[in-house]
């Protein structure tokens, strides 16, 4: 099954929501933008962050560079506090 999750977060108000389908997220995004004129960000998470981290650690994914850093839709989680 596809475990895609899309997080929609507004830059101009505290709105934040997670959708199971890209289509639903886009509808919500467009609806909020057209209604309020706010700028809405969205982030696609194909897998639970813990799962994809475990997959990366184990190297079982078969696609070591799964994330496309050039894509504005893909952002690494800001959970790394290694300084
Ligand atoms: Zn808003």
pLDDT tens digits for 42-66? Answer: 998 876 555 555 545 555 444 445 5
Q: DSSP class of residue 78?
A: T
Rounded percentage of the chain residues whose pLDDT exceeds 70? 53
Which strand (E) or helix (H) includes residue 17? strand 16-19
**Beta strands 40-45 and 5-10: pairing type?**
antiparallel
Give the per-residue pLDDT at 41.
94
Q: How far is the CA of 25 from the centre of ligand 1 (A)?
A: 14
Instruction: Read off the tokens for 40.
Output: 């809405």
- Which one is predicted more confidently, 83 or 30? 30
Mean pLDDT, rounded, of the chain: 76
Q: How far is the CA of 36 from the centre of ligand 1 (A)?
A: 6
């Amino acid at each position: 099954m596809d475990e895609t999750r899309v997080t929609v977060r507004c830059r101009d108000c505290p709105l934040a929501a997670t959708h199971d389908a890209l289509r639903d997220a886009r509808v919500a995004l467009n609806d909020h933008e057209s209604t309020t004129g706010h700028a809405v960000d969205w982030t696609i998470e194909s897998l639970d962050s813990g799962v994809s981290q475990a997959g990366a650690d184990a190297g079982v994914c078969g696609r070591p560079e799964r994330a496309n850093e050039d894509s504005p839709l893909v952002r690494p989680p800001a959970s790394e506090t290694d300084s």
